[in-house]
Structure 1
Amino acid sequence: MLARVVAVLAVALAAILAGHRLLPALGGVTPVLESGLPWLGVAIVPMVALAAVARSRGAVVAALAPALVWAVMFGPSVLRRPPGGPSDFTVATLNVGVSNEMSGEAVQAAAAGRDVVAVQELTPGGPAAKELSTIYPHRFQVGTVGLWSKYRLDDAKRIDVGLGWARALRAVVRTGKGDVTVYVMHLASARPGETSFRDKTLKEAGEVIAKDKSRRLVLLGDLNTATTDRNRGNLVPPLRDAQEEAGAGFGFTWPSGFPITRPDHILYRGMDATLAEVREATGSDHRAAIADLRF
């Protein structure tokens, strides 16, 4: 009996991992499940142990099936190493935390060595904005999102991605080696049973990016969608993900104490990523995502 239960559960887990995009959305429950998809692999260990206890070769083989599926899906992320090499443009993004009294220290960590820094959940005139303005000569802020740069910013404007108010921006960064169009976005939140509004903003963001014909483009921000979320297909492709191209591991950024998913993203086109990492940020419930890009 135990062997049969283990076999059924193992086959079901393998099917969920391999075919998660075929599952119905269930009112937004499935997309949230997808946000933690790699963690389903934790269930494989007790399944193998129970199969061993049952002394059933068939149960052991069945229990190894989801392990194989997991390895195919996520093994490359675990084994990947940054390509390294020279870079032309270094970026960071951080949701600093609206109630973070140490946001000035948080952005210091994110900004270290970066050409541009994108920040979300800013308090206008708060510690994070003040600290970044002492580091960078150029900035553009729209409500609770902002962009700070060592290079001149031109054509800066606010963007509405379906929230009903502007919580996104666009600016052209005039680097010494060429222009880069940078978007900073903070999309709607996603919770079990409550993803429709987030999905709408993802779609709007994809449409905004699709209309932009800039040769080099970077999207930075808290997109409230994980790498494994089915709805991220509005953005990737056509954009590429710096963590998937040049980061070791999953690059989880939330929650900061023990990250289990990655809502914070660095997406780009017209360049190559040479490095992607995650940094701790004092007082924030997010970690900062950083990347080095080569023209």
Structure 2
Amino acid sequence: MRTVTSVMIDEPAPAVPARAGDRRGLVVVLLAGLLAAVLAGHRAVPNVHGFGSLLDSVSPLLGLAVPALALGALLRRSRRALLAVVLPAVVWALAHGGAWLPPAGSGPTGIRVASQNLRAGNPDPAATVAPLARSGADLIALQEVDDGDRLGLRQRYPHRAAVSTVALWSRYPITDSAGVDTGLGWTRGLRAVVATPHGELVVYAVHLGSARAGDTATRDETVRALARAVRADRAERLVVLGDLNTATTDRVFTPLTRLLGDAHAEAGQGFGFTWPSAVPVTRPDHVLYRGLTPTAAGVVRTPRTDHRAVTAGFRW
């Protein structure tokens, strides 16, 4: 009887196709790389029809995409995608994370200032400015003022300078004031000299041109006009208060940041968004300065308006 020996022949296992999850992970990797590139190089994007300017202004908000991408990577169980998300997170932290560190400003405050866009047609502007008066501000700059007599500020702020729809209310004497041409065709800015107990202070109260989707030319020209006025001003101590209709991250803002410090960036915390008041996503309202040291800066939510107010304190 013949014995038959069976021989087992190993055959290569069939190739296992790549899991769909890996391909989805690749999408997250690509999106993370794109986000990191935009965060790092948004100012290199051409400013066609104001798109680059808009991208600059919202760049702090782009960080919200990081947790969304991280969640996508976790749902797809892709380690590669999760590691890729670290890159835009680091780029965002380097660019904007410092805003959340404890403010550097400290020490005694010699003068307090505030700025508020009242909103044209505000039915109760006195209610809007009341929190600023209670805050102890020595100077209050207002934009979109319809009737200064309705504000109820005269008792606490006996000195006022006004032109068109902008005004400055002061606890201290205003020794001189004049309109400032910002290229709008009508005056929407003023320069005032305030005699404070610490010395003379020049204050600009301004409302620059509006910016709309695809149309920022007027706003851009008013920023440059204000920068020219400040550059030509020989005052040792100077403060700019107002609605400048752009954020400090906007490339268009550069002519001003070359000349002035930003009180919120140096003595505030967080992004300090002011518009729209209910859920602010950008900061068009500013306190800029030179010749002083900021000690505090903040944002105040006020009623009856679409802007939150900005405040700052300084010492000589």
TM-score of Structure 1 vs Structure 2, range by shorter chain:
over 0.9
Q: 1:41 maps to what in 2? A: 63
Amino acid across the alignment from 1:148: W
Q: 2:50 maps to what in 1? A: 28
2:191 equivalent among 162, 166, 170: 170
Tell me if 1:144 matches 2:174: no
Whose Rg is larger?
A: 2
Deviation at 1:82, TM superposition (A): 5.2
- TM-score of the pair, normalised by structure 2: 0.90
In the aligned structure 1, how far is the partner of 2:186 from the partner of 2:180?
A: 8
Q: Check whether the contact 2:124–2:304 (CA below 8 A) recurs between aligned residues.
A: yes
1:230 equivalent among 232, 244, 251: 251
Deviation at 1:37, TM superposition (A): 1.4
Deviation at 1:276, TM superposition (A): 0.1
Could you report, residue by residue, the CA deviation over 1:60-104 in whole angstroms, capped at 9, with x for unpaired residues?
A: 121111111111111110123353320111100000111211210
In the aligned structure 2, how far is the partner of 1:269 from the partner of 1:122?
A: 27
2:147 equivalent among 124, 138, 142: 124
Percent of pairs with identical residues: 46
Q: 1:189 maps to what in 2? A: 210
SS in 1 for 2:236: coil
Structure 2 unmatched runs, 5+:
1-22
Tell me if 1:86 matches 2:72: no
Range moving further from structure 2, 71-80 or 173-182:
71-80
Could you report, residue by residue, the CA deviation over 1:180-222 in whole angstroms, capped at 9, with x for unpaired residues?
A: 1000110011122111110010010100100001000000000
Tell me if 1:56 matches 2:78: yes
In the aligned structure 1, how far is the partner of 2:106 from the partner of 2:314?
A: 10
In the aligned structure 2, how far is the partner of 1:227 from the partner of 1:125?
A: 29
- TM-score of the pair, normalised by structure 1: 0.96
Deviation at 1:45, TM superposition (A): 1.1
Could you report, residue by residue, the CA deviation over 1:161-184 in whole angstroms, capped at 9, with x for unpaired residues?
A: 000110000011111111110001
In the aligned structure 2, how far is the partner of 1:125 from the partner of 1:137?
A: 12
- Across the aligned residues of Structure 1 and Structure 2, the Cα RMSD in angstroms comes to 1.2
1:248 equivalent among 269, 288, 311: 269
Q: Check whether the contact 1:279–1:288 (CA below 8 A) recurs between aligned residues.
A: yes
Amino acid across the alignment from 1:114: A
Q: Check whether the contact 1:82–1:276 (CA below 8 A) recurs between aligned residues.
A: no
In the aligned structure 2, how far is the partner of 1:91 from the partner of 1:82?
A: 18
Q: 2:87 maps to what in 1? A: 65
Amino acid across the alignment from 1:170: R
Deviation at 1:133, TM superposition (A): 2.2
In the aligned structure 2, how far is the partner of 1:120 from the partner of 1:137?
A: 18
Deviation at 1:271, TM superposition (A): 0.5
Q: Check whether the contact 1:124–1:143 (CA below 8 A) recurs between aligned residues.
A: no
Q: 1:218 maps to what in 2? A: 239
Q: 1:200 maps to what in 2? A: 221
2:284 equivalent among 263, 274, 284: 263
Q: 2:137 maps to what in 1? A: 114
Deviation at 1:56, TM superposition (A): 2.6
Q: Check whether the contact 2:99–2:270 (CA below 8 A) recurs between aligned residues.
A: yes
1:161 equivalent among 158, 170, 182: 182
In the aligned structure 2, how far is the partner of 1:126 from the partner of 1:40?
A: 43
1:95 equivalent among 87, 93, 117: 117
